Amino acid sequence: MTNSRNKGAAFEREIANLLNEEFSLSIPLKRILEQTREKFLPDLILGRWHIECKRYGQGNEPIEKWWSQVIKSTKKDGIPALIYKFNNRPIKVKVPLYTINPQLEIINENTCDLLWKDFIYLLKTLYREDIDAHRK
């Protein structure tokens, strides 16, 4: 039987490493270790992006309480993102709809799910300053 805490931590490290490699970050992303002791902290922070990572066995849609957790862990002026993966499924990312079209009203209830490569494209295209914050 797999320890769910270890599985979650391994997925957080995997996502941090993927983002570090994808963007060649000189200030690498690391897991926020205080999250195990303090409530309402994200797993990772990339610029303004407050990222929660979830790895789960069966399923294909994120559990609603995961998104609630992301919203609670996103500080003022932060942007929430839920990166999730189920067994035998691709990595997906749930983001507020306004992150794709900044003209849309900032309402976190309106969301969309992106494939990993589409999330990377979104960051590279519209959120370069958040990437550059980790390239000093």
Of 17-31, 82-96, 101-115, the least confident: 101-115
Q: Please provide the average confidence, as pLDDT, over all residues in the chain.
A: 87
What is the separation, in whole angstroms, between the first and last Cα of the chain?
A: 42
For residue 46, list its beta bridge partners.
Answer: 49
Q: What is the mean pLDDT of residues 59-67?
A: 86
We report the CATH number of the domain holding residue 124 as: 3.40.1350.10
Question: Exposed e or buried b for every residue in 58-72, given b needs 16+ CB within 10 A?
Answer: eeeebeeebbebbbe
pLDDT attached to residue 34: 53
Higher pLDDT, 5 or 70: 70
Higher pLDDT, 29 or 40: 29
Structurally, how many domains does the chain consist of?
1
Q: Is 60 exceeded by the pLDDT of residue 2?
A: no
> pLDDT band at residue 135, thresholds of 50, 70 and 90?
confident
Q: From the centroid of its chain, how far is CA 132?
A: 17
Query: What letter does residue 100 receive in the DSSP assignment?
Result: T
Q: Domain span at residue 65? A: 4-132
pLDDT attached to residue 1: 45
pLDDT attached to residue 128: 96
| pTM greater than the 0.85 cutoff | yes
pLDDT attached to residue 38: 56
Q: Is 80 exceeded by the pLDDT of residue 36?
A: no
Q: What is the mean pLDDT of residues 54-75?
A: 88
CA dist 15 and 21 (Å) reads 10
